Amino acid sequence: MLISQATKRNWDKLSITDSHIKLTKRANKTNSKKRILPLEYFSNFKNIPVIKRVLDEIWACGHSISDVMYSIVLNYFNSIGITSENHLKRNVQKFLSEYSNLFPIEKLLSLELPLDEFDLFGLIYQSLYVEGDKNKQGIYYTPANITRQLNNELDLSKGESFLDPCCGSGSFLLNVKIKHPTQLYGIDCDPIAVMLCKANLIVRFKEVDFDPQVYCSDFLDEYSLFDSVKPIAIKGKKFDCISTNPPWGAIAKNSFSQLSIGESFAYFLSKALDSLENNGILNFLLPESFLNVKAYSKLRLHIMNNYSIEKIQFFANLFTGVTTKVVALTIANRKTQKHIQVIEGKNTKLVDAASFHQSPNCVFSRIVSKDKEILDKIYLKGQFNLSNSIWALGIVTGNNAEKLFDTPLENGEPIYTGKEIRAFRLLSPKKYIVYDRTCFQQVAKDEIYRAKEKLVYKFISNKLVFAYDNSGSLFLNSANILIPTIPSISIQTMLIFLNSELFQFIYTKRFREIKVLKGNLCELPFPKLLSKEDDKLKSIANNIISGDESAIETAQNAVYQFYNLSSTQIQHIQGELKSGTLA
């Protein structure tokens, strides 16, 4: 494969070889990992069949991704006439020269392309990668409607600068209002994405002869911000606006930051904050877990102490094949702050910024005054937590298809999954297993599985759903195990609190995860009960465990009465949850 020298230098820096970017040929597709068409990235769903035909042609040809995408760019340039001799601007000539050593694939040059797509290059590029590679490389580009929404309130009318430090094919850069394209800067460590971003900017501003300021570098690595022996234009530069969707999941190495923040998106956020001009504005798309996970508490505190959080906006799942919830954080480089605008769907609330400081681990929650009034009542009585309790993961078999059975078998026993867990009690098991600890990938201690009493809860869930088990049964890893050790509260009474609307309200307000995490559960506050109080609640729990559905409402009322909540407060809780959690 032929590539330009500039591209080769970038790939050498990043340890990228031709073999790393070779397409899986169509003949081998059955052995490849799952391919996902990024439906959220389409501007027009009518183009789906056309894109599928284009992808079929690409996979059939078996060329490298760099040659494929260069050919798609040339095809597009030719289709809109910017490569005709009469209209060949200097920047187009420079682009073609920079990538002249790439190989144009004749078959792809004549494909019919849908020219009405917002970012056709990025759409096709994302579609070429299998799911695993998309996750590893963070190739999930932000849809146009989201970048437009995040950039909409930015004012760059006086020539202010705009940076996307993880620009991909340029969605954020293409969707911001500016006076001149020289206001825009982009960085990405993927050389193909950089090529596509430059091409996109040339197309968007085809009436202007300018050099796209897009660089193949690592924003986190100061040494990569050099081209040969001289620094590129963004080294040490401060920006008026920084907007991006950084890669999630990767662990950053050799980072400049002294904050213990682990994942790459947090390092990108930290460095971007350092790169803001005074009164500059930053927009970052992040996993929602950033708002509450303890690992990011130092960075959250740093933001609260040195910047102003202007807005927190919650989104439904944005990316096909990704279940992680997404939040947009808008931060200004100034310190004056009283309230934070919190947006979820059509609902907008103003949250007291001081509540973030006051919360344990500086959790960024959506707590308004009514919420705080209720939470203060609960935490005032909270003397204990679950941090010293016994926890365990269900069995990880390593191969469920081979080790789980649909019918009872000799020397086997039932095993429960998360699907059989209901509030207070278990449904009948649907799977069976031969319990041989040496055959499993991961397994907890026998005494935990065989405990006389234990609680089990759904791990993948946005609700707290805890069931009681006194049969010494086994559970798969879709269920987690808890043996609480809180003074004055029996294990049955713990079910009353954990399955209550009130504790669901606490959990939702403070954490909002799609996984029920041990660390979050350990921060729930439990009161000290008198013996008669525990006996009363234990009796109610036993009735529900035995199948008395009518006792569920009694349990809810008992929890509300214990905390002396008013009818107005109870209505607020139920309105926030929209449905009970004990049913």
**pLDDT tens-digit profile of 471-482?**
999 999 999 999
Whether 10 has a pLDDT exceeding 50, the answer reads no
Per residue, the 3-state secondary structure of 272-336, as one string, reads HHHCEEEEEEEEEEEEHHHHCCHHHHHHHHHHHHHCEEEEEEEECCCCCCCCCCEEEEEEECCCC
Sheet of strand 479-483, all strands in order from the earlier edge strand to the far edge: 390-393, 479-483, 454-458, 466-469
Q: Which residue would you say has higher pLDDT here, 257 or 36?
A: 36
- Residue 210 has what pLDDT? 95
Q: Which domain holds residue 402?
A: 390-577
Q: Distance (Å, rounded) from C-alpha 90 to C-alpha 205?
A: 13
Rounded mean pLDDT, 392-408: 95
Q: Distance (Å, rounded) from C-alpha 270 to C-alpha 264?
A: 10
Number of independent structural domains in the chain: 1
3-state secondary structure of 443: coil
Q: Calculate the alpha carbon distances from 498 to 45, 503, 507, 529 in Å.
A: 44, 6, 10, 15
**Residue 453: CATH number of its domain:** 3.90.220.10
Q: Quick check: is 113 in a domain?
A: no
Residue for token pair 């029920």: 516
Q: Distance (Å, rounded) from C-alpha 498 to C-alpha 568?
A: 22
Per-residue pLDDT band at 125 (split at 50, 70, 90): very high
Q: Which residues pair with 341 in a beta bridge?
A: 311, 350
Rounded mean pLDDT, 568-576: 93
Encoded amino acid at 459, one letter: F
Collect all residues with Cβ–Cβ distance below 8 Å to 551 and sequence separation of at least 6: 540, 543, 544
Rounded mean pLDDT, 138-154: 86
Whether 293 has a pLDDT exceeding 70, the answer reads yes
Asked if residue 543 lies in contact with residue 425, where contact means CB atoms within 8 angstroms, the answer is no
Residue for token pair 């959250």: 300
Rounded mean pLDDT, 97-102: 95
409-429 pLDDT tens trace: 989 999 999 999 999 999 999
Task: Compute CA 544 distance to the chain's CA centroid, rounded to the nearest angstrom.
Answer: 37
Per residue, the 3-state secondary structure of 99-132, as one string, reads CCCCCCCHHHHCCCCCCCCCCHHHHHHHHCCEHH
Q: Quick check: is 332 in a domain?
A: no
Q: Quick check: is 489 in a domain?
A: yes
303-326 pLDDT tens trace: 999 999 999 998 876 665 555 678
Task: Tell me the Cα Rg of the chain.
Answer: 28
60-72 pLDDT tens trace: 988 999 999 999 9
Q: Which residue would you say has higher pLDDT here, 9 or 210?
A: 210
Per-residue pLDDT band at 95 (split at 50, 70, 90): very high
Helix pair 120-127, 65-80: axis angle to 10 deg: 160
Rounded mean pLDDT, 23-42: 60
Asked if residue 418 lies in contact with residue 431, where contact means CB atoms within 8 angstroms, the answer is no
Q: Quick check: is 507 in a domain?
A: yes
| 22 exposure class (CB count in 10 Å sphere: 0-12, 13-18, 19+) | middle
Rounded mean pLDDT, 340-358: 82
Per-residue pLDDT band at 174 (split at 50, 70, 90): very high
- Residue 495 has what pLDDT? 97
- Residue 368 has what pLDDT? 76
Q: Which residue would you say has higher pLDDT here, 449 or 361?
A: 449
Q: Which residues pair with 392 in a beta bridge?
A: 481
Whether 355 has a pLDDT exceeding 50, the answer reads yes
Residue for token pair 């040490």: 236
Q: What is the pTM of this model?
A: 0.71
Q: Quick check: is 228 in a domain?
A: no
Q: Quick check: is 436 in a domain?
A: yes
Per-residue pLDDT band at 402 (split at 50, 70, 90): very high
Q: Distance (Å, rounded) from C-alpha 243 to C-alpha 459?
A: 33
| 296 exposure class (CB count in 10 Å sphere: 0-12, 13-18, 19+) | buried
Whether 229 has a pLDDT exceeding 50, the answer reads no
Q: Distance (Å, rounded) from C-alpha 90 to C-alpha 10?
A: 24
Q: Distance (Å, rounded) from C-alpha 3 to C-alpha 477?
A: 47
Instruction: Identify the CA nearest to 311 among candidates 335, 287, 271, 281.
Output: 281
Q: Quick check: is 309 in a domain?
A: no
Q: Quick check: is 516 in a domain?
A: yes
Instruction: Identify the CA nearest to 196 among candidates 268, 131, 139.
Output: 139
Q: Calculate the alpha carbon distances from 562 to 286, 532, 533, 553, 559 in Å.
A: 38, 13, 9, 14, 5
Asked if residue 444 lies in contact with residue 401, where contact means CB atoms within 8 angstroms, the answer is no
Rounded mean pLDDT, 128-145: 73
Rounded mean pLDDT, 266-288: 93
- Residue 6 has what pLDDT? 38
Encoded amino acid at 307, one letter: Y
